[in-house]
Amino acid sequence: MGKVIVVGSLSQDLVAKAPRFPLKGETLRGTEFGMFAGGKGNNQAMSAARAGANVSMVGRVGADSFGEMLIQTLNNNSVDSQFVFKDNEVGTGIAHITVNGDGENAIVIIQQANLRLCAADVETAKATISEADVLLMQLEVPVETDIAAAKLARASGTIVALNPAPAPDHGSLPAELMSSVDIFIPNQTEAQQMTGIVVASIDSAREAAIKLRLAGPDTVIITMGEQGAFVHNDQISELIPSFEVKAIDTTAAGDAFCGALAAALARGEELCAAVRWGCAAGALATTKMGAEPSLPSDDEIKRLVMSALRQS
């Protein structure tokens, strides 16, 4: 069992399902409502744990009932929460999510305690970061915190993986961070925002990946939804196809991909096999509503991969 440590956000997801997204000024009748554990860091940590990794989480929540629920959910999913700190000054992060009839989502996040995760918090987890096989990060906490974590990991030989979500408003990330990243994992939209290249095909994905690698990462993996994931480094430049499923909610599909990818890399899988594992997890995550309930187990991922192999 490989070791993964996730530095990132935790939030309480408030999910409303409706036939379509409301228009400006419109009150629209919804069809379902649920509250789920969320935040990209939290989702990716649980995804990695369900995909078979030994996982620790570094993050911040408020000293409130939502924070307690998030910590309990991590514990219930076998994620080590000793480095999830309670903040007495601000509340737990919140995500307001609307899902339309096609399974597409629109999300508003209120980051709160996530914005107070700092380098000192990361330093507290230094020994665990140094022992991990993979460090997985996103951009829902201060970038200075990610830089501190990446430097600690790089110094100890831990693989550094960064999912640039949400994409930076100014289109680029500090060189200090990018030069410490081994695997960079944007989706199509994030890759476009950071390169100016519309990523819609293998050729455009390759063009964007080449440009992103110039900033420092050894490997770029651009997730492309139902198409799969495009992998580019010095040895590989190809699309790993996804799996055909009936999607009802795309919330956390990218997080499922990142967590399962990290778990596979941590246990020693070669890159393309790990990406295929991630694609299977991402596809399965679209078949259930909500973030935490949709993250698939190792057995579920394995069944989908094996089923696809038998059909090919």
The pLDDT value recorded for residue 18 is 96
Domain assignment present for residue 31? The answer is no
Does 312 have pLDDT greater than 70? no
190 in Cβ contact with 227 (< 8 Å) = no
The two beta strands, 105-110 and 93-99, are antiparallel
Rg of the Cα atoms in the chain: 18
Plot region of 214 (φ>0 → left; ψ -120 to 50 → alpha; else → beta): alpha
**Closest Cα partner for 150 from 303, 6, 308, 300?**
6
Amino acid 102: pLDDT: 87
State which residues form the domain around 251. 3-9+38-83+115-311
pLDDT in tens, 119-135: 999 999 999 999 999 99
Is it true that the peptide bond before 19 is cis, omega within 30 degrees of 0?
A: no
Higher pLDDT, 169 or 84: 84
Q: What pLDDT is stored for residue 293 in this prediction?
A: 83
Flag whether 14 is in a domain. Answer: no
Question: Average pLDDT of 214-233?
Answer: 97
Residue 261 has pLDDT above 90, yes or no: yes
Assign 110 a pLDDT band (cuts: 50, 70, 90): very high
Count of structural domains within the chain:
1
Asked whether the predicted pLDDT for residue 251 surpasses 80, the reply is no
Q: Is 88 inside a domain boundary?
A: no
Compute the mean pLDDT over every residue in the chain, rounded to the nearest whole number: 95
3-state class percentages of the chain: helix first, strand second, coil last, to nearest 5: 40, 25, 35
21 occurs within a structural domain: no
Return the bridge partners of 87, or none: 62
Q: Of 121, 169, 255, 299, which one is the catalytic site residue?
A: 255
> How far apart are alpha carbons 32 and 288 in whole angstroms?
13
CA distances to 162, 210, 218, 262 from 233, rounded to whole Å, are 15, 8, 6, 17
Domain contains 109: no
Confidence class of residue 169 from pLDDT cuts 50, 70 and 90?
confident
Tell me the pLDDT tens digit for each residue of 186-212: 999 999 999 999 999 999 999 999 999
Rounded Cα distance between 306 and 294, Å, is 20
What's the order of all strands across the beta sheet hosting 228-232? 79-87, 54-62, 3-7, 134-137, 159-162, 183-184, 219-223, 228-232, 237-241
Express as a percent the part of the chain with pLDDT over 90: 86
Q: What is the pLDDT of residues 132-157, one digit of tens each?
A: 999 999 999 999 999 999 999 999 99
The whole-number pLDDT of residue 171 equals: 83
Whether 141 is covered by a domain: the verdict is: yes
Confidence band, pLDDT 50/70/90 cuts, at residue 52: very high
Mean pLDDT of 231-252: 92
> In this structure, is residue 102 part of a structural domain?
no
Total residue count of the chain as it appears in this document: 312
Alpha-helical segments (H) within 196-248: 202-213
Task: Calculate mean pLDDT across residues 53-70.
Answer: 97
**For the domain that residue 277 is a member of, what is the CATH number?**
3.40.1190.20
Active site residue 203: no
**Is 95 part of a structural domain of the chain?**
no
Tokens matching residue 142? 């201060």
